Amino acid sequence: MTEHEASVDASVISDDPDWWRQAAVYQIYPRSFADSDGDGIGDLRGITSRVPYLRELGVDAVWLSPFYPSALADGGYDVDDYRDVDPRLGTLDDFDEMVAALHRAGIRIITDIVPNHSSNRHEWFREALAAGPGSPERDRYVFRDGHGPHLDQPPSDWESMFGGSAWEPTDDGQFYLHLFAPEQPDFNWHHPDVRADFLKTLRFWSDRGVDGFRVDVAHALAKDLSHPLPTHAELEATRLVTDGSHPLWDREELDEIYAEWRAVFNEYDPPRIAVAEAWVAPSRRHRYAAETSLGQAFNFDLLRDDFDAGDFRRTIADNLVFARESGSSNTWVFSNHDVVRHATRYGLPDDQGQDGAVGRAWVLSGGQTPPLDRDRGVRRARAATLLMLALPGCAYLYQGEELGLHEVAEIPDDARQDPTFFRSPGVDRGRDGCRVPLPWVADAPAFGFGPADASYLPQPEWFREHAVDVEASDPDSTLSLYRRALALRRELQAAETLTWAEHGDDPEVLAFDRPGGWRVVTNFRPRPVPMPAGDVLVASGPLDEASDSPGARELPGETTVWLRVAPSVD
């Protein structure tokens, strides 16, 4: 144990090494959670002040998006210094206090680690620019000479994920690679300094009591940049190959990198955990989720499904198999800081495409077209979430979804922050709409986000009705639903198995059992169906008596129930 570790407050956290397998993890976007000092930006002390809220919500862990020093070219995913706290968000002492408060409340903490790229203000990148072409300093990143007759053309036609060229020129005729914004130069993971420095960072935060790491673009670190470089079209056409041969994504060399990380995680008791953000073919996810690697990987399949019984069933069944194959547990997620909130996605017309396309189109239109049915969106989001919270595995929740928040489309252009907006002027309105600071108190400036009159991203007036104080006093609110479900979930997650059940032969009703006499039923139809047998423990919406036959109960449309039934004899 290091000296620092010894000083971290004694916690009530158990030392169960498997705590992560079925945890409910709540994602905090620190700048938008709670502001303690009145600068309109959320901070670490703000998080500490809301630990009682997190405890009452009933989550097992929080995952913090980056809080490191950063110019915020990409909301903090452009890191200047991996082993410090952004002064606008606090200090390392504030961090320690926050960890201690979380642990005292029985809540673990996962921090975001961003290994594919640093910011262009990172010490190493500044040294690389100053040292010039051919220097060892440049070798920690990916610099190449210009091409073309005047050597002023980028080395390839690659486009960055945020639009525009993936190569940025320097003043001395070279270009550097950035898969994301130009302020996010990609590291060269063949360089021993890069590898050693990240091991140091993992130990730094683990020693401070961090329980695990969310690994940003985990599938991008290893790259094959040997010549000739393929074209952008060739890269795109082979993006999801499953043999590790893509020059940029999901290469075999990653195994070796993450084996080194695993050795560091296992230096701790209990071992630190990690979850990979890896947008790879589902059949490759097990590589990241293996216990010799990061141990867990996000499954974004449900997030991409429409609200459809068949899609949900297929996704769940496939992922149960993937989890078995990797030995890891399932991960489920509907919303995060990168996607249109699921209450909004589900409130848009069904027939306009999957994969979030319809949500993006709505944001793009400033919330005008296609029309959003707000109530339906929330009804379906509640049903989907209650279903998801009953699945075996780990549930990742995103701040504000417990309030039934919709995406905010009406952010003025001059207030927007997200590089995806600036890199594609007017075309992609970006991800700010799910990052608007939370409403805590209906009748307070900035809805209680902090002492200031306003927050750094403007909150819409309709946030008032979703404020925590309003929802906490309403037994039918989305917040009350999450609290009830998360409390019951602890009991329900005793084992990791699921058995499909039938509800008549209705393909639009999904039903499954969990060990111990739990039955979960979701009616995906807009119309009611007969209520399944069993005692209702929690329902995602009001359960009305059927109007035409007194006494007969129905399961309303787009609603999930958890029922207590006689345990099956297995």
Nearer to ligand NOJ, 339 or 555 (CB): 339
- Smallest gap from Cβ 189 to ligand NOJ, in A, equals 15
How many Å apart are CA 441 and CA 76, to the nearest integer? 27
- Smallest gap from Cβ 292 to ligand NOJ, in A, equals 24
Nearer to ligand NOJ, 74 or 86 (CB): 74
C-alpha closest to that of 208 among 465, 364, 353, 5:
5
x/- site string to ligand NOJ, residues 128 to 147, per CB under 6 A?
--------------------
Q: Is 77 in the site for ligand NOJ (CB under 6 A)?
A: yes
- Smallest gap from Cβ 23 to ligand NOJ, in A, equals 19
How many Å apart are CA 110 and CA 103, to the nearest integer? 12
Long-range Cβ contact pairs of 470-473 (< 8 A, separation 24 or more): 470/442, 471/403, 471/404
Q: Is 216 in the site for ligand NOJ (CB under 6 A)?
A: yes
Q: Is 395 in the site for ligand NOJ (CB under 6 A)?
A: no
How many Å apart are CA 513 and CA 433, to the nearest integer? 36
Compute the 3-state secondary structure of the chain and give helix, strand, coil in percent, each to the nearest 5. 30, 15, 55
- Smallest gap from Cβ 346 to ligand NOJ, in A, equals 21
Nearest residue to ligand NOJ, scored by beta-carbon proximity: 77
How many Å apart are CA 277 and CA 337, to the nearest integer? 13
How many Å apart are CA 471 and CA 503, to the nearest integer? 33
**Stretch 275-304 residues interacting with ligand NOJ (CB under 6 A):** 277
Q: Is 338 in the site for ligand NOJ (CB under 6 A)?
A: yes
- Smallest gap from Cβ 102 to ligand NOJ, in A, equals 22
- Smallest gap from Cβ 331 to ligand NOJ, in A, equals 14
Strands (E), 431-527: 499-501, 509-514, 518-523
Nearer to ligand NOJ, 74 or 402 (CB): 74
Which residue type does 519 have?
A: R
Nearer to ligand NOJ, 337 or 503 (CB): 337
Handedness of CA 7, 12, 17, 20 (dihedral sign): negative
x/- site string to ligand NOJ, residues 238 to 277, per CB under 6 A?
---------------------------------------x
DSSP secondary structure letter of residue 436: S
Here the tokens at position 333 are 């997620």
Q: Is 29 in the site for ligand NOJ (CB under 6 A)?
A: no
Task: Decide if 244 contacts 140 (C-beta within 8 A).
Answer: no
**Stretch 409-468 residues interacting with ligand NOJ (CB under 6 A):** none
Here the tokens at position 546 are 């059927």
Nearer to ligand NOJ, 114 or 389 (CB): 114
Which residue type does 478 have?
A: T
> Which residue numbers are catalytic?
216, 267
C-alpha closest to that of 24 among 66, 65, 64, 62:
62
Nearer to ligand NOJ, 80 or 338 (CB): 338
Identify the three-state secondary structure at position 333. strand
How many Å apart are CA 549 and CA 551, to the nearest integer? 6
DSSP secondary structure letter of residue 251: -
Nearer to ligand NOJ, 55 or 416 (CB): 416
- Smallest gap from Cβ 184 to ligand NOJ, in A, equals 7
Identify the three-state secondary structure at position 176. strand
How many Å apart are CA 344 and CA 370, to the nearest integer? 11
Nearer to ligand NOJ, 217 or 389 (CB): 217
**Stretch 105-124 residues interacting with ligand NOJ (CB under 6 A):** 114
- Smallest gap from Cβ 217 to ligand NOJ, in A, equals 5
Nearer to ligand NOJ, 77 or 524 (CB): 77
C-alpha closest to that of 479 among 541, 539, 542, 404:
404
Q: What is the 3-state secondary structure (H, E, C) of 290-310?
A: CCCCCEEECCCHHHHCCCCHH
List beta partners, residue 104: none
- Interface residue list for ligand NOJ (CB under 6 A): 74, 77, 114, 180, 216-217, 277, 337-338
